[in-house]
A and B are shown apart, each in its own frame.
Chain A
Amino acid sequence: MQIETAILVGILFGCATYMILQTSFVRILFGFVILSNAANLLVLSMSGDPTGKSAPIVRDPNALMVDPLPQALILTAIVIGFGMTAYLVLLLYRLFLDQKTTNAAEMYAETEQEH
């Protein structure tokens, strides 16, 4: 379980990095969405191997439970990540309206001459 999760996290980070470095706004947006999910998955895997452990609801005091704290951290991170994604969508939309392009390379092409 742990090894598979680690590989999945690695693949997700790789995909996210690749997407963010593209010039299209939509790819950048999806890159950031994947990036935040990769981070959440990484934190989830920090609660250790869940094999043989129950959900963190106390019924039998002697039963082994999954560590609930990373899950609480992820909840916070998901909420913040959601707000960030919403902001990013609006920012990119505003950039599209102003610059009449959805390509980051075109957008920054003439920046050097302006100043």
Chain B
Amino acid sequence: MNWTIAPTILPILTALICLVWGQPRRARRVLVAASATLQLAVALFLVVKTYGGEAFVVGLGNWSSGLGIILVIDLLSAIMIALSTLIALASIIYGYFEMSRKVEHPLRLPLVQFLVAGINLSFSTGDLFNLFVAFEIMLIASYALLTLEADDWDIKHAFPYFAINLVGSTLFICGAGMAYALFGSLNFAEISVRAAEMSADPRVLALALLFLVIFGIKAGLFPLYFWLPNSYPTLPAPLAALYAGMLTKVGVYVLLRFFGTVMPHDLHFAHQLLAWLAGATMLLAVIGAISRNFIRGILSFHILSQIGFMVLAIGFFTPLSIAASIFYIVHHIVVKASLFLIGGVALCLNRSDNLNRMGNLWRDFPFLGILFLCQALSLAGLPPLSGFWGKYLIVVAGLDQQAYVLVGISIIASVLTLFSMLKIWNAAFWHTSDEVTVASGDKRARPMTAVVAVLASISLFIGLGAELFFSISKKAAEQTLDQSRYIELVRSYPGKGTGDR
């Protein structure tokens, strides 16, 4: 059996069963949870196998690589799939505890599964147009989830999200068409062969810059990030965790794949531009975070600022910095998702996540405070937590390149991150006031906190076992940058047809 398609097909099957099953009931919830666990198990199996040097390739319809769509899972894809299935599982279980079956929208679980399918397909595809289709599956599910339970204030903020992504999709179609005209193929491997032959051609750089814009919209790079900090806070906590953890990181993954595997490695102008855009993103977004006064709003701006770190490492474009970027993605997804879930528990306890109306959480619910402190300090980058190692590696990679200004910006951004995390800590946890009540009797809070605790311990493990995770990232970076291996993998797939068009 070929496992390449499993991370995409399992969520789609689950979603279809859920659609047929209709109303929310216990058996349906158990089915989705079981399927999400199975997806995580498959993803971990793929990570172990690809870490051992294997790679999974399948041509859809069994056509060979020149003719049909190819799916490829190497270590980077497998890591990303493992993260997306992990966060999806945590978000689904957390959602069960947060919301009783009576108020659950019947379409929520199927849409979450479609979203996961789209995300996993974007991680495993080896074809530019198929990547567009994967993005669309992901985006359509995300539009629907964003507006599913929205009130009239929320839906107003869903519109800019929809509009900017619609523009992004249209540009993507144009980009795919031009790539086909320029390279005569949409297959990543074939594009990389032909692009390497004509890397001095200015059209290659122009196309790379067009794709930088397209993927920059998805990732939320400066100046294309304004839609994100207003639309994400309208989501309920578990969905916000899934969006915050995964959707923008799809953009970062695609940037890694596109500049690492597909495009020639000597596009220095594009790399420089990426690094500087990333510097602007991290600084401006962290300042935006300081201006916000509710937890989900602050955290949404921090997603952007952290995206800046990952893209900065891609911009440095050395094997070490790519490995640092992958390590940072792994760290960030877990930390960010768990912070959003902590925000959800705090909202449920204080009945508000506006910092002016919060308080007493440390007095009445200290365990949540400990979890928040772990994750917030990790986000800011204090040793020995996972964020420290990610930032340390990026700074080392930057100093190697003598990019002192960018390294300086990243350190300022880290300090400001710490500042806005302390703002949440002071207002929500430390602050004592008789006017604020904490609903400690709320039965939902304990199991919800337990889900967060599992994620927090995973992130603690990433920090303490940084050596292991870094060696995985290093190997993933090597595989990503090794274009000849990728080409060989795809071309040697034994399918129907000759492969020549």
Q: Which residues of A contact B (CB under 8 A)?
A: 20, 28, 32, 35-36, 38-40, 42-43, 46, 48, 69-70, 73, 76-77, 80, 83-84, 87-88, 91, 94-95, 98-99, 107-108, 111, 114-115
- A97 vs B159: C-alpha distance in the bound complex, in angstroms? 14
> Is the beta-carbon distance between B173 and A77 smaller than 8 angstroms?
yes
A-B contact count (CB 8 A): 77
Taking CB atoms, residues of chain A closer than 8 Å to B176 are: 43, 73
Q: Which of B170, B180, B293, B294: most chain A Cβ within 10 A? A: B170
Q: Is B152 an interface residue (CB 8 A)?
A: yes
The reply to whether B180 and A46 contact each other, CB–CB distance below 8 Å, is yes
| A98-B147 Cα distance, complex, nearest whole Å | 13
Q: Which residues does chain A contribute within 8 Å of B129, judged by CB atoms?
A: 73, 76
Chain A contacts for B177, CB-based, 8 A: 39, 42-43, 46, 70, 73
Interface 9-residue window, one of B161-169, B189-197, B304-312: B161-169
> Which residues of B (175-199) have their CB < 8 Å from a CB of A?
176-178, 180-181, 186
Contacts of B181 in A (CB 8 A): 46, 48
Q: Are B180's CB and A88's CB within 8 A?
A: no
A73-B129, A87-B143 known; A39 and B162 CB under 8 Å? no
Please report the C-alpha to C-alpha distance between residue A43 and residue B169 in the assembled complex, in whole angstroms.
Answer: 13
Number of interface residues of B (CB under 8 A): 30
What B residues does A36 contact at CB under 8 A? 170, 173
Q: Is B155 an interface residue (CB 8 A)?
A: yes
B166 touches A95 (CB 8 A): no
In the assembled complex, the Cα of A48 lies from the Cα of B170 at a distance in Å of 20
Chain B residues positioned under 8 Å from A87 (CB to CB): 140, 143, 162
Residues of chain B lying within 8 A (CB to CB) of residue A43: 173-174, 176-177, 180
**In the complex, what residues of A have CB within 8 A of residue B178's CB?**
42, 46
Whether A80 contacts B136 by the Cβ 8 Å rule is: yes
Residues of A within 8 A of B153 (CB): 114
Are A115 and B294 interface neighbours, CB within 8 A?
yes
Residues of A within 8 A of B38 (CB): none
A39 touches B173 (CB 8 A): yes
Query: Within 8 Å CB of B155, what residues of A?
Result: 91, 94-95, 98
Closest A residue to B151 using CB positions: A98
Is B158 interfacial (CB 8 A cutoff)?
Answer: yes
**Could you list 15 examples of A-B contacts with CB < 8 Å?**
A20-B167, A28-B163, A39-B174, A42-B174, A42-B177, A43-B174, A43-B177, A73-B176, A80-B133, A84-B140, A84-B169, A91-B147, A95-B156, A98-B156, A108-B156
Cβ of A98 and Cβ of B152 under 8 Å apart? Answer: yes
- Chain A residues with CB under 8 A of B170: 35-36, 38-39
B162 touching A88 by the CB < 8 A rule?
yes
Among A32, A40, A98, A107, contact of B166 (Cβ-Cβ < 8 Å)? A32
Residues on the A chain within 8 Å of B136, using CB: 80
Q: Which of B166, B186, B294 is A88 in contact with, Cβ under 8 Å?
A: B166
